[in-house]
């Protein structure tokens, strides 16, 4: 890994990193507040049968329990957008963008192998994704403490939740980077990564709202992010294996493909 | 066979993109301490050659070494000792010129020994270096490009259209920098389609066409071989032109004779020197004519494919 490139990768993200971190910390605080304020109401609604339970949940999350609220908070479209800025936007433009601008050849004319370029950028962007996730969970804990419901949140399992989340969003990030090393322009790389994210999200939400389509959730990476189960002490290693594999395979692909690509002069 | 002091050496270097032959059977040696001009129009294969030497492209066939190292397996080490200026360089617009140079120097891993001198000679004041690159003119970007390529004092500089965008004054300063580098034993591989600058700066020139190396010559030798337009005026009748060595395409207009001179100028001058000679004009030999001669020929005939001819 190259320290200068790693530092520069972080520096490129600096402004949006700060803004998103503040926003997602606030969102993290808000979820326990909503849980404390509305969970009884929602539970009563569910028990009354006035609304199907599926409509009172979201994806694999719900407001019935505080751990369920963690899942709900991380699967909300707002979080998807905030984390997507880095896991989709920054990753898929990282190398394809440099290639299109013509700065990649200035970079590669230095004594750095393409493998080093890839690993330095990947490490930088994964650090950003991890820090944003951490900030969300930190906000969540702070929110739970403010609402006095911290006793419902087994803090000791939170590192495992962070790891689970990092594998999920890391899988999208490494996919974005694999797309980025494959194209000469960022457009196709962004499109492909965004499609990957949306299809996964669609399968998860579709399965949660429509019982006949519940099987689609198995094909969604989001379904293998299970903070509620982890916080309940029931870690399913299969979830980690699946997310781990989808995290690693794009890295292996990029490490094989990028050094072998011909980089003709930018158009 | 490779020239012993070759800094760049290619043997049968070939790059095909599918059915497109971007570079075919390039065998070339660039000697230590010379400025080598690589001439050809757009699309001739100059950039493909450079990109293959730097490891951006992988050769379809053939081999190449730079500073004695194989371009396929030792590319990183080659780039440690090389400075590269891409054609139409792109820089990080959101950084200042100084930040770009610092960043690239850190990536290079060698201290920017020459930066202060280059900055001064290319007239890049601190105030300009502290402005963002997005506010730079094309000439200023090119100056930053030149500085980043040379600031770490590379053994070999590979420069793709280096004077593009520089004003005439800065071009002179740039040529002086190249001359100093050569005097210090550095090697410069210089791609250009500006014939006048190649003629002025380079020791040798390679001419590439349709991805094939057509010829490699000493610039002096090339110029000496060139045809020159001559005009001679005598008092009285003109002598028999057939007795003047090297003079062809002769036309006579009154007491003035026009023709084209091939070969040795001194022999020609001796032959025409007489008390009745009133005026003699010999136009300077131009590399452009030599260049156009290669490009006028159809179909392409690779004249310098054999390594011994291309050294």
Predicted pLDDT at B261: 83
Q: Is A263 close to B57, i.e. CB distance below 8 A? A: yes
Contact B58 A260 (CB under 8 A): yes
| H-state helical runs in B109-216 | 115-121, 126-129, 138-150, 168-183, 195-201
Of A1-15, B109-123, B234-248, where does mean pLDDT reach its minimum? Answer: B234-248
Q: Pick from A250, A66, A238: which is nearest to A171 by CA?
A: A250
Query: Do the Cβ atoms of B148 and A260 come within 8 Å?
Result: no
- Residue B203 CA neighbour count, 13 Å, CB half: 15
Question: Residue B244: which residues within 8 A CB-CB, separation 6 or more?
Answer: B259, B268, B271, B272
How far is A16 from A19, CA to CA, in rounded Å? 5
pLDDT at B195 over 90: no
Q: How far, in Å, are A263, A264, B97 from residue B57 at the CA level?
A: 6, 7, 29
A10-19, A88-97, B33-42, B263-272: least confidently modelled range = B263-272
Measured distance CA(A193)–CA(A94) in Å, rounded: 13
Q: Is B275 exposed, middle or buried (0-12, 13-18, 19+ CB in 10 A)?
A: exposed
B32 pLDDT above the threshold of 70? yes
Q: Do B79 and A8 touch (CB under 8 A)?
A: no
Cβ distance of A109 and B84 shorter than 8 Å = yes
Chain B: nearest CA to A88, how far in angstroms? 22
The encoded tokens of residue A146 equal: 């403010």
> Maximum distance among all alpha carbons in chain A?
68
Contact yes or no for A102 and B89 at CB 8 A: yes
Q: Is the Cβ pair A111, B57 closer than 8 Å? A: no
CA of B6 vs chain A CAs: smallest distance (Å) = 21
Give the residue with greater pLDDT, A43 vs B101. B101
Check A111 against B17: CB less than 8 A apart: no
Give residue B306's pLDDT: 37
d(CA B234, CA B238): 6
Q: Are A197 and A169 in contact (CB under 8 A)?
A: no
Q: How confident is the model at residue B297 (pLDDT cuts 50, 70, 90)?
A: low
Report the pLDDT value the prediction gives residue A168, as an integer from 0 to 100.
94
Query: Can you give the pLDDT at residue B303?
Result: 45
Exposed, middle or buried by CB within 10 Å (0-12, 13-18, 19+), for B299? Answer: exposed
Q: Are strands B187-192 and B156-160 parallel, antiparallel or unpaired?
A: parallel
Average pLDDT, chain B: 85
Q: Kindly report the backbone phi and psi dihedral angles of residue B278, in degrees, each rounded to the nearest multiple of 5, phi listed first.
A: -105, -40
Distance from CA of A261 to the nearest CA of B (A): 8
What's the rounded mean pLDDT across residues B79-107?
A: 93
For B241-252, the three-class secondary structure string (H helix, E strand, C coil) is HHHCCCEEEEEE
User: In this model, does residue B310 exceed pLDDT 60?
Assistant: no
CA distance B79 to chain A (A): 5
Average pLDDT over residues B123-139: 92
Q: Which of A110, A113, A116, A120 to mutate to test the interface with B (most CBs of B within 10 A)?
A: A110
Q: DSSP character for B164?
A: T
Across the interface, whether the CB atoms of A266 and B90 are under 8 A apart is answered yes
Residue from the list A101, A109, A260 with its beta carbon closest to the beta carbon of B79 = A109
- Report pLDDT for B309: 39
d(CA A94, CA A101): 11
Contact A216, A207 (CB under 8 A): yes
CA distance B228 to chain A (A): 38
- Please give the Cα distance from B126 to A230 (Å, whole number): 57
**Neighbour count for residue A37 (Cβ, 10 Å):** 11
Residue B15 has pLDDT above 60, yes or no: yes
Searching chain A, which residue's CA lies closest to the CA of residue B89? A102
pLDDT digits (tens, 9 = 90+) for A86-135: 999 999 999 999 999 889 999 999 999 999 999 999 999 999 999 999 99
CB atoms within 10 A of CB B204: 22
- Which chain A residues touch B80 with a CB distance below 8 Å? 111
- Residue A86 sits at φ, ψ, to 5 deg, of -95, -45
Q: Do B56 and A108 touch (CB under 8 A)?
A: yes
Closest CA to A233 of A165, A180, A156: A156
Question: Which residues in chain A have Cβ-Cβ distances shorter than 8 Å to B107?
Answer: 2, 4-5, 107, 110-112
Find chain A residues with C-beta within 8 A of B76's C-beta: 111-113
Residue of B nearest to A12 (CA): B94
For residue A113, the chain B residues in CB contact (below 8 A) are: 75-76
Would you call B106 and A4 a contact, using CB atoms and an 8 Å cutoff? yes
Determine the pLDDT at residue A56.
57
pLDDT at B300 over 50: no
Residue B116 pLDDT > 90 = yes
Sheet holding B204-209, edge to edge: B82-85, B156-160, B187-192, B35-39, B204-209, B212-218
CB contact under 8 A, B90 and A4: no
Choice among A247-261, B98-112, B260-274, B286-300 with the minimum mean pLDDT: B286-300
- Taking 50 as the threshold, does the pLDDT of residue B311 lie above it? no
Output the pLDDT for position B20.
84
Per-residue tens of pLDDT for chain A, all 267 residues: 899 999 999 999 999 999 999 999 999 999 888 877 777 676 676 666 666 666 556 656 666 677 778 887 888 888 889 999 999 999 999 999 999 988 999 999 999 999 999 999 999 999 999 999 999 999 989 988 998 888 888 888 889 999 999 999 999 999 999 999 999 999 999 999 999 999 998 888 887 777 777 788 788 898 888 888 888 888 889 999 999 999 999 999 999 999 999 887 766
pLDDT (0 to 100) of residue B217: 86
- Kindly identify which residue of chain A lies nearest to residue B99, measuring between CA atoms: A8
| Selected residue with higher pLDDT from B287 and A165 | A165
How many CB pairs below 8 Å do chains A and B form together? 70
Q: So what's the pLDDT on residue A190? A: 95
Interface of B with A (CB under 8 A): 17, 47-48, 51, 54-58, 75-77, 79-80, 82, 84, 86-92, 103-104, 106-109, 148
Tell me the pTM.
Answer: 0.84
pLDDT at A62: 64
The partner residue sitting opposite A111, judged by closest CB among B48, B80, B92, is B80
SS (H, E, C) chain A: CCHHHHHHHHHHHHHHHHHHHHHHHHHHHHHHHHHHHHHHHHHHHHHHCCCCHHHHEECCEECCCHHHHHHHHHHCHHHHHHHHHHHHHHHHHHHHHHHHHCHHHHHHCCCCCHHHHHHHHHHHHHHHHHHHHHHHHHHHHHHHHHHCCHHHCCHHHHHHHHHHHHHHHHHHHHHHHHHHHHCCCHHHHHHHHHHHHHHHHHHHHHHHHCHHHHHHHHHCHHHHCCHHHHHCCCCCHHHHHHHHHHHHHHHHHHHHHHHHCCCCCCC
Give the mean model confidence (pLDDT) for residues B170-191: 93
Q: In this structure, are residues B106 and B148 in contact, taking their beta carbons and an 8 Å threshold? A: no
Q: How many residues does chain B have?
A: 311
Average pLDDT of span B210-235: 82
- The 3-state DSSP class for residue B1 equals coil
């Amino acid at each position: 890994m190259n320290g200068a490139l790693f530092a520069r990768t972080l520096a490129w993200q600096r402004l949006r990193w700060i803004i998103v971190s503040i926003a997602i910390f606030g969102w993290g605080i808000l979820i326990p507040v909503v849980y404390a304020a509305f969970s009884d109401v929602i539970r009563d609604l569910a028990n009354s049968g006035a609304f199907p339970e599926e409509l009172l949940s979201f994806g694999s999350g719900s407001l019935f329990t505080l751990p369920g609220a963690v899942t709900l908070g991380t699967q909300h479209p707002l979080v998807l957008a905030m984390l997507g800025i880095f896991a989709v936007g920054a990753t898929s433009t990282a190398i394809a963008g440099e290639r299109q601008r013509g700065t990649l050849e200035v970079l590669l004319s230095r004594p750095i192998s393409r493998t080093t370029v890839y690993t330095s950028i990947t490490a930088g962007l994964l650090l950003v994704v991890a820090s944003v996730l951490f900030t969300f969970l930190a906000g969540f804990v702070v929110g739970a403490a403010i609402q006095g419901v911290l006793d419902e949140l087994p803090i000791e399992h939170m590192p495992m939740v962070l790891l689970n989340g990092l594998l999920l969003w890391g899988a999208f990030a490494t996919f974005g980077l694999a797309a980025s090393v494959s194209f000469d322009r960022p457009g196709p790389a962004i499109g492909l990564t965004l499609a990957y994210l949306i299809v996964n999200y669609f399968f998860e939400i579709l399965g949660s709202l429509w019982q006949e389509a519940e099987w689609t959730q198995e094909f969604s990476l989001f379904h293998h992010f299970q903070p509620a189960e982890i916080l309940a002490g029931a870690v399913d290693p299969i979830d980690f294996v699946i997310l781990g594999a989808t995290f690693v395979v794009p890295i292996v692909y990029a490490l094989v493909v990028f050094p072998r690509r011909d980089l003709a002069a930018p158009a | 066979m490779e020239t012993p002091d070759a800094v760049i050496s290619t043997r049968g270097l070939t790059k095909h993109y599918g059915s497109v032959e971007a570079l075919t059977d390039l065998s070339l040696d660039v000697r230590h301490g010379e400025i080598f001009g690589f001439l050809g129009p757009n699309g001739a294969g100059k950039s493909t050659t450079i990109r293959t030497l730097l490891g951006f492209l992988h050769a379809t066939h053939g081999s190449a070494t730079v500073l004695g190292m194989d371009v396929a397996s030792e590319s990183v080490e080659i780039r440690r000792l090389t400075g590269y200026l891409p054609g139409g360089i792109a820089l990080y617009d959101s950084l200042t010129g100084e930040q770009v140079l610092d960043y690239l120097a850190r990536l290079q891993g060698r201290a920017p020994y020459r930066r202060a001198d280059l900055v001064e000679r290319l007239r890049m004041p601190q105030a300009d270096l502290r402005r963002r690159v997005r506010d730079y003119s094309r000439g200023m970007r090119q100056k930053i490009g030149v500085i980043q390529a040379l600031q770490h004092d590379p053994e070999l500089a590979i420069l793709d259209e280096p004077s593009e965008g520089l004003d005439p004054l800065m071009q002179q300063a740039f040529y002086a920098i190249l001359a100093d580098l050569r005097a210090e034993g550095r090697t410069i591989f210089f791609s250009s389609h500006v014939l006048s600058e190649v003629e002025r700066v380079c020791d040798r020139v390679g001419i590439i066409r349709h991805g094939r190396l057509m010829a490699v010559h000493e610039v002096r030798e090339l110029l000496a071989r060139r045809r020159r337009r001559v005009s001679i005026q005598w008092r009285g009748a003109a002598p028999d032109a057939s007795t003047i060595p090297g003079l062809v395409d002769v036309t006579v207009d009154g007491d003035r004779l026009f023709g084209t001179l091939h070969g040795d100028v001194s022999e020609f001058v001796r032959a025409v020197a007489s008390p009745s000679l009133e005026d003699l004009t010999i136009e300077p030999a131009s590399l452009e004519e030599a260049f156009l001669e290669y490009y006028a020929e159809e179909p392409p005939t690779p004249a310098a494919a054999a390594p011994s001819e291309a050294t």
